[in-house]
A and B are shown apart, each in its own frame.
Chain A
Amino acid sequence: MADTKKTILVVDDEQDVLSYLTTFFQDNGFDTLTAMDGKQGMELARSSKPALITLDITMPSESGVRMFRDLQADPNTAEIPVVIITGISSEFEQFIRSRKQVAPPAAYFEKPVDRDAVLAKVRELLGQGA
């Protein structure tokens, strides 16, 4: 039986990053959805139930921090693994991982990313092995 393609929601306010990540994920057998801020991202997460979300932090309208909290607060989206991909300074990883109010992100990458490392982590999180 052929695998149904899994969908990754890519949330980032920079068009270049969206293009880069979506092309890369599509080339590696995934479907993709995109959103350019946390608000759009949250709407798409609720309506489309992606298998995984990559999330930028500094965005307009609604930040990645807010979306990260909203995802966990909503039972319909709480189980979706979130991979943070951000250009924010490195201390943020420890900050967000140590918050008692939220579970830590499934993975964390600083921009510019090593795309092979991202792909390996995404596949691991989606149970697709190496």
Chain B
Amino acid sequence: MTKPLTLDDFSRTDLDQVAEVKPEDLVPLPPPYDKAEELPPFKEVTAEKREQVDFSLDGFSALGLRKLQTDEEEKELVEKFLTGLRKLFTKENNWLFLRPLMITTDHCARCQTCVQACPVFEMSGGNDLYRPTYRSEIFRRLVEKHVKPGGGLWSRFKGSTGIELNGPMIRRLAELAYRCTLCRRCAQTCPIGVDNALVTRELRKLFSQELGLTADELHKSGTVLQLKVGSSTGMNALVVKDNCEFIEEDIQDRWGLEIKIPWDKEGADVLLIHNAGEVMAWPDNVAAFAIILEKAGVSWTMSSEPLGYDGVNYGLFYDDVQLARVAVKHADIAKRLGVRKIVAGECGHETKVQSLITDRLLVDDLNIPRENAMTFLEDLVMSGRLELDPSRNDFPVTLHDPCNLVRLMGVVEPQRRILRKLCPQFREMTPHGVENYCCGGGSGFAIMSGNNFEDWRNNVSSRKKFQQILGAFSDCLSPEVPKYVCAPCSNCKGAIRDFFRYYGATEKSNLHYGGLVELICNAMPDLSAPFISFEDEW
């Protein structure tokens, strides 16, 4: 029997790993995905790599943290961590999240209600390391001892001195901040309003701002690249426009429509800002938006200014300062174009940043109205301005609820009203709406694949979503029937793409995925061919 994990284990220097993920411990998937021997084995980590990189949390590495070489390095790490921990609890340094963080730190009743809501904990087979409370309790005890006045004495009195503040413990804590997708089901279910996901998020911020420990995909090739070149994809405006020219030609060649994407049109009603990843990874999504907006007669534009063509804002997942830098650029571009509103494309985190998170940041003339794609599209579909024939979508369709858009913003029904109108075989996942499960790619995981992290994502954090999808199509899982998972979010699509590939879901079960706009266009009777082909997926 595996020995239960204790809090003291987390700082032990005699352990190679604090915990282990074993394929046989994971919650089984239904047939034909129940045979572990048919799945790719976990990527092997070479001895050389193990010498260089810290895998001491659970055998996986999201951040590629290097092992420290000297006592001085370790001492510096501890000092910086303590400085950052204290900063989190000062209003000058954390005006945005200080209050909810204090509430979370002070009031957990250790009832473990949240644990049952966490898909990472559940699908790992109940691995103690992934309890939302495990991470938070470490954080809480560190705060009690090192931040609160008289903490040293008080924590000794309470018997919480077991967690030693050392280098291995700090590196493990940084990694553990990247074993939670920030889906916030834990916060949703907590009877007293504790937000354990906020602890994860604030730890990421601490590690980024004080220690420079971040996921390269989010920081170096994320927000830093976006602020330098214009997009986290690395595309400058010329590349985006040239790629969109391909898309315009596709619209003509494949569906017989002559449409030009408008760029930098001053005074347009709508500035559409896609997640720029759509342009290269899902160009049909960009095409579908253009077709819908043109056919509905909307006055719209895209922007070719740096950042104006990429709504990504990975700062949401790890760093308030980076978030603010990107968000202000978006608003400023909209202001100078003189548009009436910004509409975020099908991207959950972009939508949440623009609509909610920046509420207290974008004031005065930067407070341009912002709308999410779901309500915007619902108005167009229900307005009668588009000719639509639901019989063209007569195949099984289910809906994935992106966490940022649905649970965390309450945008639940608009997309469902569209699907009920246009998809005769629409069926829900169980559970759905605000109780739905994360795709497993949340909080940036969809773009994080370094070292062996993709194995962890496909096997652990995305497992619940795959189980849900299989459940929604349990009456038609055989490969004769094509099935469509509507996932109106770029990052969610990235995660679903990856685990469909990993499990061979398209070959075995004829499972496909895409956005909402593709289904709307597929219902248009005057396109020269069906918009969705079920063949062109990557």
Give chain A's interface residues, CB within 8 Å of chain B.
57-66, 69, 86-89, 91-92, 94-95, 98-101
How far is it, in angstroms, between the C-alpha of A69 and the C-alpha of B241 when the chains are bound?
Answer: 13
Please tell me which one of the listed residues B239, B250, B538 contacts residue A57 in the complex, with CB atoms under 8 A apart.
B239
Contact (Cβ within 8 A) B249 A101: yes
Contact (Cβ within 8 A) A63 B242: yes
Contact (Cβ within 8 A) B236 A58: yes
Contact (Cβ within 8 A) B239 A88: yes
B283 at the interface (CB under 8 A from A): yes
Contact (Cβ within 8 A) B239 A65: yes
Name B225's closest neighbour in chain A (CB-CB). Answer: A87
Contact (Cβ within 8 A) B234 A66: no
Can you name 23 A-B pairs with beta carbons within 8 Å? A57-B235, A58-B234, A58-B236, A58-B238, A58-B239, A59-B238, A63-B239, A66-B238, A69-B242, A87-B234, A88-B233, A88-B280, A89-B221, A89-B232, A91-B233, A91-B280, A91-B281, A92-B233, A94-B538, A95-B280, A95-B283, A100-B250, A101-B246
How far is it, in angstroms, between the C-alpha of A57 and the C-alpha of B235 when the chains are bound?
Answer: 8
How far is it, in angstroms, between the C-alpha of A98 and the C-alpha of B243 when the chains are bound?
Answer: 12
How far is it, in angstroms, between the C-alpha of A59 and the C-alpha of B249 when the chains are bound?
Answer: 23
How far is it, in angstroms, between the C-alpha of A99 and the C-alpha of B253 when the chains are bound?
Answer: 12
Q: How far in angstroms is the closest Cβ of chain A from B280?
A: 4
Tell whether A88 pairs with B243 under 8 Å between CB atoms, given A58-B229, A95-B280, A98-B538. no
B277 at the interface (CB under 8 A from A): yes
How far is it, in angstroms, between the C-alpha of A60 and the C-alpha of B246 when the chains are bound?
Answer: 19
**Residues in chain B near residue A92, CB distance under 8 A:** 233, 235, 280
Q: How far in angstroms is the closest Cβ of chain B from A125?
A: 24
Please tell me which one of the listed residues B235, B250, B283, B536 contacts residue A88 in the complex, with CB atoms under 8 A apart.
B235
**Residues in chain A near residue B279, CB distance under 8 A:** 95
Q: How far in angstroms is the closest Cβ of chain A from B504?
A: 18
How far is it, in angstroms, between the C-alpha of A64 and the C-alpha of B243 when the chains are bound?
Answer: 11
Contact (Cβ within 8 A) B234 A89: yes
How far is it, in angstroms, between the C-alpha of A95 and the C-alpha of B250 when the chains are bound?
Answer: 12
Tell whether A64 pairs with B239 under 8 Å between CB atoms, given A58-B229, A87-B234, A88-B233. yes
How many interface residues does chain B have, given as a range? 20 to 34
How far is it, in angstroms, between the C-alpha of A94 and the C-alpha of B234 when the chains are bound?
Answer: 15
Contact (Cβ within 8 A) B234 A95: no
**Residues in chain B near residue A88, CB distance under 8 A:** 233-235, 239, 280
Contact (Cβ within 8 A) A66 B242: yes
Please tell me which one of the listed residues B238, B243, B253, B538 contacts residue A62 in the complex, with CB atoms under 8 A apart.
B238
Contact (Cβ within 8 A) A99 B246: yes
Q: How far in angstroms is the closest Cβ of chain B from A118?
A: 19
Q: How far in angstroms is the closest Cβ of chain B from A57?
A: 6
**Residues in chain A near residue B221, CB distance under 8 A:** 89
How far is it, in angstroms, between the C-alpha of A32 and the C-alpha of B54 when the chains are bound?
Answer: 42
How far is it, in angstroms, between the C-alpha of A65 and the C-alpha of B281 when the chains are bound?
Answer: 16
**Residues in chain A near residue B277, CB distance under 8 A:** 89, 91
Q: How far in angstroms is the closest Cβ of chain A from B106?
A: 42
Q: Which of A62, A63, A99, A100 has the most CB of B within 10 A?
A: A63
**Residues in chain B near residue A94, CB distance under 8 A:** 280-281, 538
How far is it, in angstroms, between the C-alpha of A7 and the C-alpha of B355 when the chains are bound?
Answer: 53
**Residues in chain A near residue B236, CB distance under 8 A:** 58-60, 63
Contact (Cβ within 8 A) B243 A95: yes
Q: Mark B314-341, 1 if CB is under 8 A from A, else 0.
A: 0000000000000000000000000000
**Residues in chain B near residue A58, CB distance under 8 A:** 229, 234-236, 238-239
Please tell me which one of the listed residues B229, B232, B253, B281 contacts residue A95 in the complex, with CB atoms under 8 A apart.
B281
Q: Which of A59, A64, A65, A89 has the most CB of B within 10 A?
A: A89
**Residues in chain B near residue A63, CB distance under 8 A:** 236, 238-239, 242
Name B449's closest neighbour in chain A (CB-CB). Answer: A90
Enumerate B245-281 residues with CB–CB distance to A below 8 Å: 246, 249-250, 253, 277, 279-281
Q: Mark B283-303, 1 if CB is under 8 A from A, else 0.
A: 100000000000000000000
Q: How far in angstroms is the closest Cβ of chain B from A110?
A: 10
* The 4 nearest A-B residue pairs measured at CB: A65-B242, A88-B234, A63-B238, A91-B281
**Residues in chain A near residue B536, CB distance under 8 A:** 98
Besides A57-B239, A60-B236, A95-B243, 16 new A-B residue pairs in contact (Cβ under 8 A), listed by A number: A57-B235, A58-B234, A59-B236, A62-B238, A63-B236, A63-B242, A64-B239, A65-B239, A65-B242, A89-B280, A91-B233, A94-B538, A95-B281, A95-B283, A100-B253, A101-B246
